[in-house]
Structures are given as structure tokens and as C-alpha cells.
Amino acid sequence: MVSKWLIVWLVAMVLPALLAFLNRWVWVPIRMHSRQTILIRPRREATASEQLTPELQDYIGQVVRQFRDIGFEVAGNFHQPGAVPGINSFQIVCVNRATNDLAIIIATRGSNSRSMLFAIRSEFPDGTWIATANNRGIGIFPREPGTEVANFSWAKDPAELHEAHRRLLRRAGKSNTPRIAPAPGEALAYVDREWDRNSHWHVRCGYRWRDDSAGVYRFTWKGAYFSTWKLLWPLKGWRLRLRDYKARRLWNELGMDQWHRPASAAVLRSPPPRPLPGATGTLNAPVETTSNTRAGTLLRYEGGLAEGEIRSEQVDGALVVRAGGITVGRVILRRWGNLLLILILTVPVVSTSLLVWRMPKYLYRSLYGIWVLPAFWVVLIAIEILALTRALRQARGTAVITASQAGLRFTNAPDHRGNGEIAREDIGSLFVLIDRAGLRGKWYRLEARPFHSGPTQVLIRSKDLIALNEVQRAMAVALGIESEQLAETVG
């Protein structure tokens, strides 16, 4: 008969993991089914410059100039607010009148996320089309029949993507096939038709249904669950790796790994972002920090901050944030009781193990319950050792984070990677989340998440939620992913 204490122990160990699993894989899709909608007929208007963040202004301006350099002209520029709740979308349609190929630039911005991509598309009279894109994210809907999409997420140069698209057309035998494109002044009608076509396809494949009374499309149960699961770890990472593996193989088959831009073709670049303080024009230069107040020093402050304390200041056009963190000495001082517990529990575990080891084998079956208590002690010891190891790895003292339009640089961050840098184009979002909760209150963390699947980077841990939220908004402004007016509106 199995010991009841063993059952209780197993339930206590398995229940938290089971609840977390049910929340991610069952409850989140239910919420998506009830809340997520898109408009049947969204409102579109001309884009105003004040609606764009500095980052989007740089990105769109650079890409439009590069497309213009290879023969595309802007046919329409549209802002689509609130078609998906909380998301602002910007779309620029360009047309190459010599070939009737389309270039579409899409930028979306939400409260905690954003994305930027461009694609080249050739539509044929029979309703089929071939597209080449550089989307770093991954979709959730099945591919529409009669379409061929090649996604080269690493391609950042429109000329390079245009050459890959030209070779893809040649491979499909459609280099000389006539293409159709919106006539001058019909870009808005084209965007409306594309929205309707995509929405109808989502209904046909069973992911959405049309709610005419509310004027929106809603997720079906199938769509809610499949869409959520496709974006959860580890499925999202597997899908991204498989997609990029196939795309890289196609890239090589097209010979793009050997392609070089012709020397006569100029590469248009946007002005380089302002370098970080102390840098020499690159993101890799170290940030100068000092406690000396004599003239010529970059920052003037004391050597360290109290745990959880946050200070920030503007230095040479960049935001420098300093956050007090726990030190190794404080970790040991706070967890001395846990260390003593480990030593106390080690004695009965070792003595019981030696006793059982010397017992005759025929007594094992009758005294199997004697292993329950030592096993429980071993689990407690392992948990305490892991918690102590994690705390020591994060004990780096005062963290320094510098944010500018070049990206983020951090030192002594309370994470597995304490020192490093993240380019702005690789930062998907900045989040403030609950880090842990206990008898002494809640701790929060500010973390940077990548555009696609990958590890997050914790930057700051603090009990001051208001200060963390203010730092998050200030960093977004310093990076250029938010403007000051938009940040004040969100705040």
C-alpha cells in the first residue's frame, strides 16, 4: 500500500506545474475566444508624422527611400487605428509601374509590442500570387491556396529582397507573366479588398466567424486554441526554426548566398543613431561611470544604491538608469537560516541512507516507507541549494542600464547574463511583471523581450512598481520606440 504522505508529497509537487499548464494551454485560449476581435470594416486615414514614433519614422523613411531607388513609387500611406483592439497599424503601398510588382511596408504598434516588415508581391490575373517578405515573427493562420510566400527574416535590404523575389519568379516560370497592380489613386480600394480577402479566408479555414451585429470577426474555439498554441513555448520556437531552416535552404537554392549588390547601386541608409555615452560611434564601447565629482567626469553619484532604489538621468542624449541590487554578502546574511537548515537536514538523510544500505534485502519490501522521509528531505535540500545558487548568481550589486536610439547596454543586471547589449532592432518590447511575492511584499522586474522566440533579459528588480513603470516609459522614449507625447498618453 502506498503511503498517504507519499501521495500528499507528489500532489504538492505536481499541482503547481499542472495549474501553470492549464492556465497557458486551456485558460488563455478561452480568454482569447471571448475577447479578441477584429473589425469587419476598419477605419483608414492618411498617416500623420506625429502618429509615428521616432523609430518608425526612421524605419519607414529609410525603407521608402530604398524602394524608390529600385523603381518603386509610393501609391498610398494609411494609418489603421484600432482594427485590432490596442493595435495601431501603418501600411505603405508602393508600386513598380514597369513590372506592376507591389512593395508593402507594414508597421504595427501596441502598448507593449511592435513589429516592422516589408514584402514584395506579384499578383497574376488568375488570382494567384507570389510574395517575398522579411517578417521576423510568425503567423497563426494556414496559408491560403494559390499563394507562394518566401519569408527571409534576415533580409534587411529591399534591393536584396527584390533580387530574391525576381529569382523566385524566374524559378516559378512567371518572370514574363503579366502582373496586376492598383492604378494611381486606387491604393485605398486595394487595401480594403485585401482586408476582406484575408478575413474571408480566416472564416473559410475555420479560425474566425463573422459577427455582423457587432461589426467584428471573432475567433472560433478552433481558432482560439490553435492560434494560442502556435505562439506558446516551445511550439513557437520550433516553428520559427523550421521556417528559417527551409527559408535558408531556398535562399541558397536561389543563389542568393552568392549575390552581391552591384557596385554602381547606392545603398541608402538612415542617419546613424546617436551613440551611447562614452561610446566612439558603436554600441560596444563601455559606459563610463564614476563617483568622482571633478570636472570632466560623465556621471556624478555615490558608488552604490540601496537595494531596490532606482535613479535615472539624461547624459549626452541617452538615458542612464542605475538600480540598486542585492550583494553576495546580503544574500548569505539573509539566507543563513536556509544554510543551517541544509546542514541540519543532511545529518538524518545520510544516517538513514547508511542504515537502509546495511539492512538485509528481504526487509526492503516491508520497510519501503522508510524511504519517504529521506526522499522528502532530499527534495527540500535540492530546492534550497537551487534557490541559494540562483540568488548568488543574481547578486551583482548596482546595475547600470543605458538606453539610446542605438539600443540597450547593461552591466550588473540581475539575470543569468549580467553584462551585454541589445540593439534596438532586436528589442521586441519592455515589460514590467511580478517577479515574486512573499510575506515581505511583492517584487517586480523590468525585462526586455526579443522580437522573436528567445530568452528575455531581466534589467531591474525592485519593489517600487511606480518607479519601474516610469523607467519603462522613459526607456521606450530614449530608444525611440515611443515618442514623448505617446508615452504621456499611455501613462
pLDDT-derived band at 171, boundaries 50, 70, 90: very high
pLDDT-derived band at 285, boundaries 50, 70, 90: very low
Q: Who's near 9: CB < 8 A, 6+ residues apart? A: 372, 375, 376, 379
User: What gap in Å lies between CA 41 and CA 51, rounded to an integer?
Assistant: 21
Place of cell 516491508: 366
User: What gap in Å lies between CA 483 and CA 56, rounded to an integer?
Assistant: 10
Place of cell 477605419: 43
Tell me the average pLDDT across 377-388: 77
Higher pLDDT, 330 or 256: 256
Task: Quick: pLDDT tens for 443-466.
Answer: 899 999 887 767 889 999 888 899
pLDDT at 325: 79
pLDDT-derived band at 202, boundaries 50, 70, 90: very high
User: What gap in Å lies between CA 326 and CA 374, rounded to an integer?
Assistant: 33
pLDDT at 85: 83
Tell me the average pLDDT across 473-482: 90
Burial grade of 74 (CB within 10 A; 0-12, 13-18, 19 or more): middle
What's the mean per-residue pLDDT of the chain?
82
Q: Are strands 88-96 and 101-109 parallel, antiparallel or unpaired?
A: antiparallel
pLDDT-derived band at 357, boundaries 50, 70, 90: low
Tell me the average pLDDT across 382-396: 78
H/E stretch holding 73 reads: strand 73-81
Residue 143 has pLDDT above 60, yes or no: yes
- Are the beta carbons of 324 and 306 closer than 8 angstroms? yes
Tell me the average pLDDT across 384-394: 78
CA 113 to each of CA 192, 203, 427, 459, 475: distance values in angstroms, whole numbers, following the listed order = 25, 26, 9, 17, 14
User: What gap in Å lies between CA 137 and CA 158, rounded to an integer?
Assistant: 18
pLDDT at 306: 76
pLDDT at 381: 75
Q: Phi first, then psi: what are they for 333, rounded to 5°?
A: -65, -40
- Give just the sign of the alpha carbon dihedral 210, 113, 236, 79: positive
Place of cell 509601374: 97
Quick one: cell of 267? 545603398
User: What gap in Å lies between CA 42 and CA 200, rounded to an integer?
Assistant: 15
Task: Quick: pLDDT tens for 318-337.
Answer: 999 998 877 777 777 777 77
Higher pLDDT, 51 or 329: 51
19-33, 285-299, 474-488: segment of lowest average pLDDT = 285-299
Quick one: cell of 47? 498617416
User: What gap in Å lies between CA 323 and CA 310, rounded to an integer?
Assistant: 4
Tell me the average pLDDT across 240-261: 93
Higher pLDDT, 474 or 262: 474
pLDDT at 341: 72
User: What gap in Å lies between CA 368 and CA 338, rounded to an integer?
Assistant: 29
3-class SS at 401? strand
- Percent of the chain residues past pLDDT 90, beyond the cut: 46
| Maximum mean pLDDT: which of 77-91, 118-132, 367-381 | 118-132
pLDDT at 358: 66
Tell me the average pLDDT across 119-139: 93
pLDDT at 293: 32
Quick one: cell of 28? 488563455
Give me the sheet containing 216-219, strands edge to edge: 37-39, 216-219, 208-211
Place of cell 539566507: 335
Task: Quick: pLDDT tens for 210-247.
Answer: 999 999 999 999 999 999 999 998 899 899 999 999 99
CA 82 to each of CA 42, 139, 152, 196, 446: distance values in angstroms, whole numbers, following the listed order = 8, 20, 29, 16, 27
Place of cell 522573436: 452
User: What gap in Å lies between CA 91 and CA 45, rounded to an integer?
Assistant: 10
Residue 437 has pLDDT above 60, yes or no: yes
Tell me the average pLDDT across 187-201: 94
141-145, 295-299, 462-466: segment of lowest average pLDDT = 295-299
Q: Are strands 129-133 and 147-151 parallel, antiparallel or unpaired?
A: parallel
- Percent of the chain residues past pLDDT 70, beyond the cut: 82
Burial grade of 66 (CB within 10 A; 0-12, 13-18, 19 or more): buried
pLDDT at 373: 62
User: What gap in Å lies between CA 125 and CA 171, rounded to an integer?
Assistant: 19
User: What gap in Å lies between CA 122 and CA 147, rounded to an integer?
Assistant: 10
pLDDT-derived band at 398, boundaries 50, 70, 90: confident
Where does 231-371 have alpha helices with state H? 235-253, 328-334, 336-358
pLDDT at 351: 73
Cα Rg for the chain, rounded, in angstroms? Answer: 28
Burial grade of 423 (CB within 10 A; 0-12, 13-18, 19 or more): exposed
List own/partner pairs for 212-219 with CB under 8 A and 24 or more apart.
212/40, 214/37, 215/39, 215/40, 215/41, 216/37, 216/38, 216/39, 216/40, 217/37, 217/38, 217/39, 217/40, 218/33, 218/36, 218/37, 219/32, 219/33, 219/36
User: What gap in Å lies between CA 405 and CA 387, rounded to an integer?
Assistant: 37
